[in-house]
Chains A and B, each alone.
Chain A
């Protein structure tokens, strides 16, 4: 092995590796078909070492995907030990046997060989718009087994030594809706792998294999050291926090997530013992998704510029009993795992608020509010599927308000333009805006939830949805008030009424209207200390009603008047 790499060479090699990941990310985004990938960037790229350890991610990689790559790699290495060849491409999605986190996320991994030896893998994950199963979009609730959620792909070789296994591709495409589009997504993922492999070999040519492999280890170990340094800034102690999921959509309500977070020196342990058993509905998660969420929260609170790699995962100890909500096992359905992941982040912030109050935020919309419309387009006679996740409030911060109507936590996907929706689907968007009074009052207030009102045009359609924090509101911190909760409503000939929080297969008639409201977020610090100018702006902008302001800040106006006198 070469002499120890100096910090300059290391930075240059690390930069080249990040460059590969970013290029592959852009290539995948631009050549895919799914709007999830193209417009909403619901995909990720990673380079992992030959032992499956995560070395580098693309800059825009979604936090949820950080651990899924590792999960896939462990399965590839276990199952194909000694049978990995140049030109192979592995593919998988199953959460229970192949390291996935939910079925629509399809993982790809391509081994890279230098002079006959396996040296690394380039991997990508992309969220396909459909993976089969009972309901279009493969994200709906109301199912109790993973079989119902779509096609389960174990780790298989889609390419054997450069040759596409067309029989496998045929199985994949036969089981999904709109197969021609999904084929485009697969092609984009394949092309992205190949681009990564080509680039990786160029980097080896320039820097030498030994140096690049040494850089792998250095990148991960230096990040581990950095993470440990950040952890040691947290005062030693044990910090507990519990929050509840509204329900699983299958009858189980008030599902606890319990955390005991212990810091000792530069060690940290997140013990989720006490969390609910796994549930019948699809909000279960696999352990690797929890690992990704917990690490996201720690990075956000401690050192947001930290590189995202195995070094972080190795430092953070997580205890989660198998068979629980956060470490579910076969046959748990997991499609809507993002809701629980988002809640894990809130819970980690809640626990940390007792240790490093100035670095965390109050509870955010803590959900991944999902709306899916499907039917037959009366203009073309073809089936359509419109899927979207809506943002909500961001938790208030120690020094400023939470942002209104924005994606938080493990997701940062874009909305679909109204003009795209209406051109492509027989849907009309009637309203899209903030919900008055939905940001929890505080010295700094929580962000506001979003309201989107939609209706089918000239046809009947089916609506599926999934919401969280529709009953357990986003909590405030240190006297900050809770933010507003979300809800689904339908307005039909009988008037307006509330739907289930995880509504499945709702028939929407011609003149009916569906209203989606997402949760706001909690405030930070006592409302009494809110700046008079900020209150004035809350009122003037009509983001808050007079009555809300009177109720929560009523005393402030008086006190500031008194001060003036």
Chain B
């Protein structure tokens, strides 16, 4: 009886999702986070959930963990001194970036100051050309002098980033080799290892971020590994990456920057899992929390991946789940702009003081207050009685705005939610339309504490007709960790024309990448039957300066025969271009700039859903209350407890479905059906 456990560390709570490999039984748990040492909450929560559900700690075979240690360190800039060795003449590159300012009109706002101070950026006389041929080889004395300077800075980590190191890493490797001899105590990050792709600023920024995080992550993982091995000796630890797969603790020490955007990634992977269970191929996720909402696209059960992201204002170029964040959540505050328009967010009441209805001193009208005023939220509050909500305080908060508008408080609240929905719709449009997809062909999947409350208006605005509300919308992230594959990405950055000669280069690249993947599979002890490879090329029309990632083959093993002819790949590229950008130029030449191989090993085994225990479920409403949906009048509405619903049961709106972590309104004319995995499928009626 093996158990695997997903642990998602959030700002307020650490969530647990435990699944039994054989019986399919699942349990969820929650404990308060311990931000100063996140490992503490993990270890406490782990023993709590085991005690509570009679799980023997020795039966835990795997612990999958999503950490925000890296992200927080970057936001708070809490790391130690870090140094950089770079090509002579280019130490300011890290500071110049792309020479832009973050806001066109704002004279006061700047990009963040680099993580490496200028005096700690050491230049070395060396140079490669665009083909990776040596122009200037670094002299041994010069290297040693540079290393001495690094040592003098007192840095605990050092990034090494040279121009064209993605073509030829020899100079970076040479410096690293000497440095490991001379200064073994300094952690090293090489741009050719962290992110071996062209565009020096983004590569350098990613490498510096990695170096900055190395000491922090190393210390954190040590604490965690020690604790886990004491408590659950048989458990292997997997750390979640921004790309939505797991890596070993050793890889995380080497490449901590890969965790920097892993928070939203777990949610998207969890959503993809729910999508498979609900048999809905194309999903737009909407994860609404207290201060922000995350949106991601899932196509054919796969999460979209992007390469250009940033964290705390620093660009990161690594495969990352393509999640767009908008500053709109339950705590978002309603306010009048200087031109008299009503805005929602991005300012949020946060956890303290929180929305007015929390009674913790918040006086400004928030999204949560609006939901309470409309009856969509219960005055008993989310945690089912733990913390009641005071609708009078919400009313008092909205009254001034209502007076200003000459509206009733309820109409004002509905309008405020409409504005919030408009913000989210804009974000969803950005991520779907920019990528060439029509949201009407997708199903909306709301989760997070506030997702299901607003999803219906979002769906209507985007012309979507169906929604899936996961069984446990509050812990989709922890669930995502549990079901994540072990994953590693390899890349060869080469620019070559897509023609017969190019196919040969592509085949050589695949052979090289295959070798690296094989080594990795072996290191990670991944059995052959769970392996999967995906070959992707970043390609563009000759003269374009923006690449399109085109998947060209996917199978448990890939050989040269899996690479089709230049002609076929050309057509494949044109089709992708047509989808993404709305046109193709079939007569134009195509070139490839990166060849990527993504290797994954499936860890999670899907089991059948556990049958309902009919003796405790009755599927009947527990009460009725009056709720405002889209009319000016409230309607008497049945309120159900999610935990009491029966698989296969259909509830016709108007209805409210409450559960521990969220509330789902079913609008008049809509209907909700419970799936065998206890997800809710909501079909939007034709009435509107």
A positions within 8 Å CB-CB of B: 6-12, 14-16, 18-19, 22-23, 26-27, 29-31, 33, 35, 38-39, 60, 62-63, 178, 180-181, 184, 187-188, 191, 195, 206, 222-223, 225-226, 229, 296, 299-301, 303-308, 360-361, 390-391, 394, 397, 399-400, 403-408, 412-415, 417-420, 422-423, 428, 430-434, 450, 453, 457, 540-543
Q: Find the residue from A8, A33, A62, A423 having the highest chain B CB count within 10 A.
A: A8
A180 cross-chain contacts in B, Cβ below 8 A: 543, 588
Inter-subunit contact B119/A541 (CB<8 Å): yes
A-B contact pairs, 20 of them (CB 8 A): A6-B405, A11-B343, A12-B419, A30-B581, A31-B583, A38-B544, A63-B104, A184-B544, A187-B583, A188-B583, A191-B581, A206-B461, A229-B338, A305-B106, A305-B338, A360-B107, A400-B108, A413-B100, A432-B93, A433-B92
Given contacts A15-B423, A304-B106, A404-B95, contact A420 B544 (CB under 8 A): no
Q: B101's contact among A11, A406, A417, A543, by CB below 8 Å, is which?
A: A406
Q: Which one, B70-78, B193-201, B551-559, is touching chain A?
A: B193-201
Query: Which of B91, B416, B418, B541 meets A184, CB within 8 Å?
Result: B541
Return the contact of B422 from the options A15, A178, A453, A543 (Cβ within 8 A): A15
User: In the complex, what residues of B have CB within 8 A of residue A222's CB?
Assistant: 339-341
Contact B198 A7, beta carbon cutoff 8 Å: no
A8 near B164 with CB under 8 A, answer no
Instruction: Flag whether B618 is at the interface (Cβ < 8 A).
Output: no
Q: How far is the CA of A23 from the CA of B437 in the complex (A)?
A: 12
Rounded to whole Å, the gap between the CB of A192 and the closest CB of chain B is 9
Task: Give the distance in Å from the alpha carbon of A404 to the alpha carbon of B416 in the complex.
Answer: 41
Structural contact, B89 and A453, CB atoms closer than 8 A:
yes
Looking at the assembled complex, report how far the CB atom of B197 sits from the nearest CB atom of chain A, in whole angstroms.
9
A27-B581, A31-B581 as given contacts; A60 in contact with B200, CB under 8 Å: no
Asked if A406 and B89 make an inter-chain contact with CB atoms under 8 angstroms apart, the answer reads: no
Contacts of B543 in A (CB 8 A): 33, 178, 180-181, 184
Cβ of B504 < 8 Å from any Cβ of A? Answer: no
The answer to whether A417 and B129 touch across the interface, beta carbons within 8 angstroms, is: no
Report which of B106, B545, B588 forms a contact with A35, defined as CB distance below 8 A. Answer: B545
Interchain CA distance A394-B339 in the complex, whole Å: 30
Closest to A543 in B: B118
B-chain residues with CB within 8 Å of residue A360 when the two chains form the complex: 107
Q: Does B220 contact A (CB under 8 A)?
A: no
Q: Are B339 and A300 in contact (CB-based, < 8 A)?
A: no
Pairs of residues from A and B, 10 with the lowest C-beta to C-beta distance, nearest first:
A8-B415, A431-B89, A433-B92, A31-B581, A391-B99, A222-B339, A541-B118, A414-B98, A304-B105, A304-B106
**Chain B residue with the shortest CB-CB distance to A434:** B92
Name A450's closest neighbour in chain B (CB-CB).
Answer: B96
Give A353 Cβ to nearest chain B Cβ, in Å.
13
Q: Are B430 and A23 closer than 8 Å at their CB atoms?
A: yes
Residues of A within 8 A of B134 (CB): none
Interface string of B96-130 (1 = CB under 8 A from A): 10111101111110110000011100000000011
Contacts of B201 in A (CB 8 A): 417
Residue of B nearest to A26 (CB): B434
Can you name 11 extra interface pairs (CB under 8 A) apart from A414-B100, A417-B201? A11-B342, A26-B430, A31-B581, A31-B582, A39-B545, A180-B543, A184-B543, A191-B582, A407-B100, A408-B101, A422-B129
Which B residues are closer than 8 A to A by beta carbons?
A: 89-93, 95-96, 98-101, 103-108, 110-111, 117-119, 129-130, 163-164, 166, 198-202, 336-343, 405, 407, 412, 415-416, 418-419, 422-423, 425-426, 429-430, 433-434, 461, 495, 541, 543-546, 580-583, 585, 588
A63–B105 touching, CB < 8 Å: yes
> Given A181-B543, A417-B200 in contact, is the A403-B110 Cβ separation under 8 Å?
yes
Chain A CB within 10 Å — which of B89, B163, B541, B583 has the most?
Answer: B89
CB-CB nearest in chain B for A518? B99
Residues of A within 8 A of B105 (CB): 63, 296, 299-300, 304-306, 308
B340 proximity list for chain A (CB < 8 A)? 7, 222, 225
- Report how far A299 CA is from B343 CA in the complex, Å: 20
Residue of A whose beta carbon sits closest to that of B90? A432
Known A7-B336, A390-B99, A407-B100: A420·B199 in contact at CB below 8 Å: yes
Asked if A7 and B342 sit within 8 Å, CB to CB, the answer is: yes
Complex Cα gap A6–B342 (Å): 9
Name which residue of chain B comes closest to A299, CB basis: B105
For A296, what are the chain B residues with a Cβ–Cβ distance below 8 Å?
105
Contact B199 A7 (CB under 8 A): no
B412 to chain A, nearest CB (A): 8
- The contact of A8 among B93, B107, B117, B418, by CB within 8 Å, is B418
- Which A residues are CB-close (under 8 A) to B405? 6-8
* A301 CA to B101 CA, complexed, in Å: 16
Q: What is the distance, in angstroms, from A148's C-beta to the closest C-beta of chain B? A: 26
Residues in B with CB closer than 8 Å to A307 are: 339
Give the distance to chain B from A299, nearest Cβ to Cβ, in Å.
5
Chain B residues within an 8 Å CB radius of A11: 341-343, 419, 422
Question: Which B residues touch A391, using CB under 8 A?
Answer: 96, 99-100
With A187-B583, A300-B105, A431-B89 known as contacts, the answer to whether A417 contacts B119 (CB < 8 A) is: no
User: A403: which B residues are within 8 A, CB to CB?
Assistant: 101, 110-111
- Answer whether A430 and B89 are a contact pair too, CB < 8 Å, given A12-B418, A404-B95, A415-B96: yes
Check B198–A419 contact: CB distance below 8 A: yes
Taking the nearest CB of chain A, how far is it from the CB of B119, in angstroms? 5
Q: How far is the CA of A195 from the CA of B583 in the complex (A)?
A: 12
Let me know if A304 and B103 touch, CB within 8 A.
Answer: yes
Identity of the chain B residue whose Cβ is nearest the Cβ of A428 in the assembled complex: B129
Contact of A433 among B89, B199, B418 (CB under 8 A): B89
- Chain A residues with CB under 8 A of B89: 430-433, 453
Asked, given contacts A300-B107, A422-B130, A434-B92, whether A14 binds B341 with beta carbons under 8 Å apart, the answer is yes
What is the minimal beta-carbon distance from B107 to any residue of chain A, in angstroms?
A: 5
Nearest B-chain residue to A448, judged by Cβ:
B92
Residue of A nearest to B428 (CB): A19
Q: What is the CA–CA distance of A408 and B105 in the complex, to the nearest angstrom?
A: 9
Of A417, A428, A434, chain B has the most CB atoms within 10 Å of the CB of: A417
Determine the residue in chain B with the shortest Cβ distance to A410.
B104
Q: In angstroms, how far is the closest chain B Cβ from the Cβ of A70?
A: 18
A206 to B111 CA separation, bound complex (whole angstroms): 39
Q: How far is the CA of A35 from the CA of B542 in the complex (A)?
A: 12
A249 vs B330: C-alpha distance when bound (angstroms): 59
Once the chains are docked, how many angstroms separate the CA of A184 from the CA of B546? 13
Q: How far is the CA of A399 from the CA of B110 in the complex (A)?
A: 13
Q: Closest CB of chain B to A62's CB: distance in Å?
A: 8
Rounded to whole Å, the gap between the CB of B685 and the closest CB of chain A is 18
- Which A-chain residue is minimally distant from B427 (CB atoms)? A19
A7-B341, A433-B92, A542-B118 given as contacts; is B588 within 8 A of A22 (CB)? no
Chain A residue at minimum C-beta to C-beta distance from B198: A419
Q: How long is the Cα–Cα vector from A390 to B412 in the complex, in angstroms? A: 49
Contact B99 A419 (CB under 8 A): no
Residues of chain B with a CB closer than 8 A to A432's CB: 89-90, 92-93, 96
User: Are A419 and B407 in contact (CB-based, < 8 A)?
Assistant: no
Given A407-B99, A412-B100, A423:B544 Cβ within 8 A: no
Neighbour of A27 across the interface among B99, B544, B582, CB < 8 A: B582
Q: Quick check: B92 and A191 within 8 Å, CB to CB?
A: no
B92 with A226: CB separation less than 8 A: no
**Are B426's CB and A15's CB within 8 A?**
yes
**Cα distance A300–B107 when bound, in Å?**
6
Contact of A397 (CB < 8 Å), options: B107, B341, B588? B107
Interface residue from A6, A397, A433 paired with B91 (Cβ < 8 Å):
A433
Decide: B101 and A407 in contact? CB cutoff 8 A: yes
Nearest chain B CB to A20 CB, angstrom units: 9
Q: B541 to A431, Cβ gap below 8 A?
A: no
B14 to chain A, nearest CB (A): 36
- Residues B163 and A418 in contact, CB atoms below 8 Å apart: yes
A225 to B583, Cβ gap below 8 A?
no
- Are B407 and A6 closer than 8 Å at their CB atoms? yes
Report which residue of B110, B461, B543, B545 has the largest number of chain A beta carbons within 10 angstroms of its beta carbon.
Answer: B545
The minimal Cβ–Cβ distance linking A147 to chain B, given in whole angstroms, is 28
